[in-house]
Structure 1
Amino acid sequence: MSFHVGCRRRQVADATQGVALPLTLLYPTSAPVSPHRFGPYPLELAMDAPVTGTNLPLVLFSHGNGSTPLTHRGLAKHLARSGFVVALVEHVGNTRGDNRLAGTAANLQNRPRHVSLALDAAFADPDLGAAIAPGRAGLIGESLGGYTVLAAAGGKPWCGPQESPDGKPQPIAVTADPRVHALVLFSPATPWYLPEGSLANVTVPILMRTGDRDDITPAWHGDLVHRDIDRTRIDHRIVANAGHFSFQTPFPDEMVRPDFPPSQDPPGFDRAGYQTVLLADVERFLRKNICCDGDDGSASF
């Protein structure tokens, strides 16, 4: 069953950081769509349309360093069309337009809290909350977003001396969110979990995709996930010829250029073609692990 994509935009207060986090919610709707632009990205959406369905599974995206969740807009729209509510949160201080906190312990502490605040807002949303299956969510994280969702699922990270205010490694104070029931990791950045056992408390199922030509988060980043977590809970594939950004949605033609690395792949890698495989894998994994309505684990429409 396929739907149109509804969209509502929110602001979520983070009292600790003293900012409002932009949050975009995508969801299934039967209302007609029209063209909209979110920055450089054209999207067909039904703005503020009524939601279709009940007991819908919730998925949240955590974007990479200095990025935006819209780099995975193709996957987000696919999930919404397939009956998921999708939360796209912007990590203020570490986005494409505002990256002043990059490389700081504060950023590492803020990001997992942003995830929980965005989940709070989605579950309590006056227009969508009643349609969302209560008490559970899946998280998708790319690169530094992988660090973020692992922390939200129970990881215990440490910052390095270059990030610490006093120049000494120290634990990062994060709080696990019990609503996290599954993780999807794309090219995860994990050096904050170097101490043995840092990920031992992460017990949820994980789908992980890494590229064999990733020179930003090479193989040892994924190896840290395997070190501490039961391998039977991890669906990991190393994608041949894929680079660090190869799991993102293909960019509009005018953005594809050599001086914009996220738009580039190793020679011969077909990003657009691989999206079909990736979207199907992620949807299947999330349906198995976070859908919860009835005997078949599906939402109701």
Structure 2
Amino acid sequence: MNPKNTPFLVGSTVLTITDPKNNLSFPVLLHYPTLDGSKPTPFGPFIMDVAVDGVLAEGKFPLVLISHGNSGSQYVYRTISTYLATRGFIVAMPEHFGNNRTDNSLSDSVKNLEYRPQHISLIIDYLLDKTTFKQQINPNTIALIGHSFGGYTALAVAGGKPYSMTGEAISTHKDERVKALVIMAPAAGYFSPKSALDQVNIPILLYIATEDIYTPKKWTADVILKGIQNPEQVLLREIKNAGHFSFISPFPDGMKNPSFLPANDPEGFDRVAFHEELPEEIFQYLEEKLTID
């Protein structure tokens, strides 16, 4: 990915993606390799060391998209996104329309189940066709990372045929351009019906947390391993003593309180230390699984 094995700095910019079919738009945060000087920059309550609108470094780079969880944010996987950018990835992180921290009006709706995977494909379309980045993205090395409901999104993009909680078939389309998945505590229950995952045939790095009360193993790993045609394509990582939200980047101390569940972990779990290891592990997996021309 980075032939000199020397980390880049992190460029950062924001795109607006339009969905003309549904008459809506949504922002996408990009992190990418740059040689421009970076500085600590506020993004909401978070600080990231980035070069805002920095020039993309020379080279041909893989594209990775990160899909956040229900009512989540494009900022909360920054430990992963910034690390991958320093290792030569272009990382695109949407704020999912109607299912984010400021507007969660589509939560639990069929529209949300449909929009999320559609919008991932729209982002890929846009990046490969309408941005200055298009000449430097290797279209054969595209991966998708998803946490929680983002894991649902990733499985749908990879060919999964989801069903709503009332048993309604959801209209989605497989995006063949996505070559690998990393899914963390995924909301896989939407793919419980037989044959729902038959068309998912790409490598998957699957993380589950032993203390996850929201997406326990029976609704994540068991569904996926029993549902796909080739379970050998799944690398299962079971994180001891972790909770559902442990895959989110650590929050600033001022946001940590017992009532704010995303900032909390099971007693004794060190989220800061975990996020010093997680991005490197994801990088190593993607470097191995994405075929470079």
Taking structure 1 as the reference length, the TM-score comes to 0.93
CA–CA separation in structure 1 for the residues paired with 2:85 and 2:165: 38
Checking the alignment, whether the CA contact within 8 Å between 2:83 and 2:280 is kept in structure 1 is no
Q: What displacement does 1:221 show?
A: 1.7
Q: Residue 211 of structure 2 corresponds to which residue in structure 1?
A: 213
Structure 1 counterpart of 2:3: none
Residue aligning to 1:59: 64
Report the AA paired with residue 172 of structure 1: I
Partners of 1:160 and 1:75 lie apart in 2 by 31
Quote the residue 2:193 is aligned against.
195
CA-based RMSD of the aligned residues comes to: 1.1
Distance in 2, Cα, partners of 1:77 & 1:111? 23
CA distance in structure 2 between the aligned counterparts of 1:26 and 1:17, rounded to whole angstroms: 27
Paired residue for 2:101? 96
Q: Does 1:159 pair with 2:158? A: no
1:123 matched to 2:128: yes
- List alignment gaps of at least 5 residues for structure 2: 1-5
Aligned to 2:245: 245
Give yes or no for contact 2:16–2:28 (8 Å, CA) kept in 1: yes
SS at match of 1:275: helix
Show CA shifts across 1:98-139 (max 9, x none). 000000111000100010011112222432111111244100
**Counterpart residue type for residue 228 of structure 1:** G
SS in 2 for 1:59: strand
Q: Could you tell me the TM-score, scaled by structure 2's length?
A: 0.95
CA distance in 1, matches of 2:37, 2:189: 45
Q: Which amino acid aligns with 1:284?
A: Q
Q: Deviations over 1:142-181 (max 9, x none)?
A: 00000001000000001122xxxxxxx2210001101010
The 1-side partners of 2:140 and 2:103 are apart by 32
1:70 aligned residue: 75
Q: Please list, as runs of the form range in 1=range in 2, the aligned pairs for 1:1-301 lying within 5 A after superposition.
A: 1-161=6-166, 169-222=167-220, 223-229=222-228, 230-293=230-293
SS at match of 2:75: helix
Segment of structure 1 superposing worse, 272-281 or 257-266: 272-281
- The 3-state SS of whatever aligns with 1:246 is helix
Q: In 2, Cα distance between the equivalents of 1:134 and 1:54? A: 13
Q: CA deviation at 1:38?
A: 1.1
Aligned pairs, number: 286
Shift of 1:291: 4.6
Question: Shift in Å at residue 68 of structure 1?
Answer: 0.8
Question: In 1, Cα distance between the equivalents of 2:149 and 2:29?
Answer: 20
Matched-pair contact (CA < 8 Å) for 1:57–1:291: no
Paired residues of 1:197 and 1:228 also in contact (CA < 8 A): yes
Farther off after superposition, 124-133 or 260-269: 124-133
Contact 2:32 2:56 in 1 (8 A): yes
